[in-house]
């Protein structure tokens, strides 16, 4: 099968640190190569892949402020669309913009919807619902006005994560520093439970960080270490007693939860979005309603079997399962083409 993978260009594929959409695009690309498919990855020029690489942007625009995001996004999408007849299918990870090209090409397109940034973009998805096949990344993150081909949960290489014993004695927050992520709630919970908290991730909302998080930082108790790469992330998660994921929004998936559980580290998360699809209550973590629930969960999280947590994650969120499900989805889309 000849497949084009259209990755975002905010970050390199795979990302050096943050970049969940680019990470999943990379995992699918390399998994398809392993299965003998003819794969072309459309990504930044510094991307790392065993597939054929097509690039316009030299680097991710979030990594190089000198790049104009809109200009490079337009050229990036045009690059794959102008070569569409070379492929049996285009797999779009670039949100809604490529959909507008779908009736101008004769190649089937499958779009993974990594979440809706705003209800304002829904009209675009509805406009091309009869032309493009949509995959959701959780059952929770489905809009009732759209038709979906499948739900395919994200997958990771669990073997690339090291099982940890939580010997650091701290709780951890991993992800964007943004009010939606509830970093301030995690600080409250950790302080009330009397355990240190380490916060890692990119600052996406500078005002929130400066006004709400920075004043609460305290050496030895609440530490912010910024973005982390794969090796540092692995050690950080493995040394934690728990990942605090006290989100305030309906998160489409939450890759940080799976990465933590792959290290054997249980997740304590609020009941929002995909959390009930990812966390197994009392086995891979605890699902709570508020800060008080998180404090109570921290007091009993040590009783969970970390080896069992890692094993269940390998069963449910392995990368091979994800790639196999996408190959099956590609076959269905091609068999049903044209959709109109």
pLDDT-derived band at 264, boundaries 50, 70, 90 = very high
Helix axes 291-300, 183-193, angle to 10 degrees: 50
Q: Which positions ≥6 away from 332 have C-beta within 8 Å?
A: 133, 149
CA 98, CA 125: separation in Å to the nearest integer? 10
**2-155+318-336 belongs to which CATH class?**
alpha beta
Side-chain-facing half-sphere of 11: CA atoms under 13 Å: 16
Q: What are phi and psi of 83, to 5 degrees?
A: -115, 15
73 has pLDDT over 80: yes
> Going along the chain, which residue ranges are E strands?
2-6, 38-42, 52-54, 89-92, 109-113, 133-136, 150-151, 170-174, 197-200, 222-226, 240-245, 267-270, 285-288
Beginning with the edge strand found earlier in the chain, give each strand of the sheet holding 2-6 in spatial order.
52-54, 38-42, 2-6, 89-92, 109-113, 133-136, 150-151
In CATH, the number for domain 158-317 is 3.40.50.2000
User: What would the mean pLDDT of 123-138 be, rounded to a whole number?
Assistant: 97
CA 336, CA 340: separation in Å to the nearest integer? 10
Q: Do residues 203 and 228 touch, judged by C-beta distance below 8 A?
A: no
User: What would the mean pLDDT of 213-225 be, rounded to a whole number?
Assistant: 96
pLDDT-derived band at 231, boundaries 50, 70, 90 = confident
Q: What is the DSSP letter of 167?
A: T
pLDDT-derived band at 230, boundaries 50, 70, 90 = confident
pLDDT-derived band at 263, boundaries 50, 70, 90 = very high
Cα 105-107-109 angle, rounded to 5 deg: 100
pLDDT tens for residues 265-305?
A: 999 999 999 999 999 999 999 999 999 999 999 999 999 99
Task: Please indicate, yes or no, whether the overall pTM of this predicted structure exceeds 0.75.
Answer: yes
Kindly tell me the sign of the dihedral angle through the C-alpha atoms of 236, 237, 238, 243.
positive
Mean pLDDT of the chain: 96
Q: Where are the domains of the chain?
A: 2-155+318-336, 158-317
CA 199, CA 176: separation in Å to the nearest integer? 10
* Paired residues of 52 in beta bridges: 40
340 has pLDDT over 80: no
Q: Does the fold of domain 158-317 match that of domain 2-155+318-336?
A: yes
Residue 204, helix vs strand vs coil: coil
User: What would the mean pLDDT of 126-144 be, rounded to a whole number?
Assistant: 97
**279-318 burial, b for 16+ CB within 10 Å, e for fewer?**
bbeeebbbbbeebebbbbbbeebeebebeebbbebbebbb
CA 338, CA 69: separation in Å to the nearest integer? 33
16-20, 175-179, 243-247, 312-316: range with lowest mean pLDDT: 16-20
Residue 228, helix vs strand vs coil: coil
Integer angstrom CA distances of residue 34 from 51, 136, 319:
10, 24, 12
Q: Residue 106, exposed/middle/buried by CB under 10 A (0-12, 13-18, 19+)?
A: exposed
| DSSP code string of 232-298 | HHHHHHHTEEEEEE--SS--S--HHHHHHHHTT--EEEES-TTHHHH--BTTTEEEESSHHHHHHHH
Q: Do residues 317 and 157 touch, judged by C-beta distance below 8 A?
A: no
pLDDT tens for residues 138-174?
A: 999 999 999 999 999 999 999 999 999 999 999 999 9
Spatial CA neighbour of 75 closest among 113, 34, 43, 122: 43
The pLDDT of residue 338: 86
> Going along 129-221, which residue ranges are E strands?
133-136, 150-151, 170-174, 197-200
């Amino acid at each position: 099968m000849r497949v084009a993978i259209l990755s975002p260009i905010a970050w390199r594929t795979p990302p050096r640190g943050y970049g969940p959409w680019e990470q999943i695009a990379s995992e699918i690309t390399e998994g398809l190569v392993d299965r003998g498919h003819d794969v072309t990855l459309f990504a930044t020029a510094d991307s790392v892949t065993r597939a054929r690489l097509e690039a316009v942007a030299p680097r991710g625009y979030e990594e190089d402020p000198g790049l104009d995001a809109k200009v490079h996004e337009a050229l990036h999408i045009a690059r794959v669309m102008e070569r569409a007849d070379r492929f049996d299918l285009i797999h779009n990870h670039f949100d809604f913009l490529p959909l507008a090209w779908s009736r101008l090409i004769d190649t089937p397109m499958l779009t993974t919807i990594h979440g809706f940034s705003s209800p304002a973009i829904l009209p675009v998805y509805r406009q091309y619902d009869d032309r493009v096949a949509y995959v959701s990344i959780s059952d929770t993150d489905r809009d009732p006005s759209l038709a979906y081909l499948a739900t395919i949960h994200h997958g990771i290489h669990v073997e690339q994560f090291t099982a940890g014993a939580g010997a650091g004695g701290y709780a951890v927050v991993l992800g964007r520093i943004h009010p939606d992520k509830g970093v301030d709630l995690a600080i409250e919970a950790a302080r009330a439970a009397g355990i240190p908290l380490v916060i890692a991730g990119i600052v996406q909302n500078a005002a929130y960080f400066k006004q709400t998080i920075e004043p609460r930082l305290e050496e030895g108790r609440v530490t912010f270490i910024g973005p982390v790469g794969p090796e540092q992330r692995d050690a950080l998660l493995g040394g934690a007693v728990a990942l605090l994921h006290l989100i305030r929004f309906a998160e489409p998936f939450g890759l940080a939860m799976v990465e933590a559980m792959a290290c054997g580290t249980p997740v304590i998360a609020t009941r929002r979005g995909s959390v009930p699809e990812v966390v197994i209550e009392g086995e891979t973590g605890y699902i709570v309603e508020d800060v008080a629930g998180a404090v109570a969960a921290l007091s009993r999280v040590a009783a969970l079997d970390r080896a069992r947590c890692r094993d269940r994650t390998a069963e449910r969120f392995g990368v091979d399962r994800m790639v196999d499900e996408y190959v099956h989805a590609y076959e269905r889309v091609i068999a049903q083409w044209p959709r109109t």
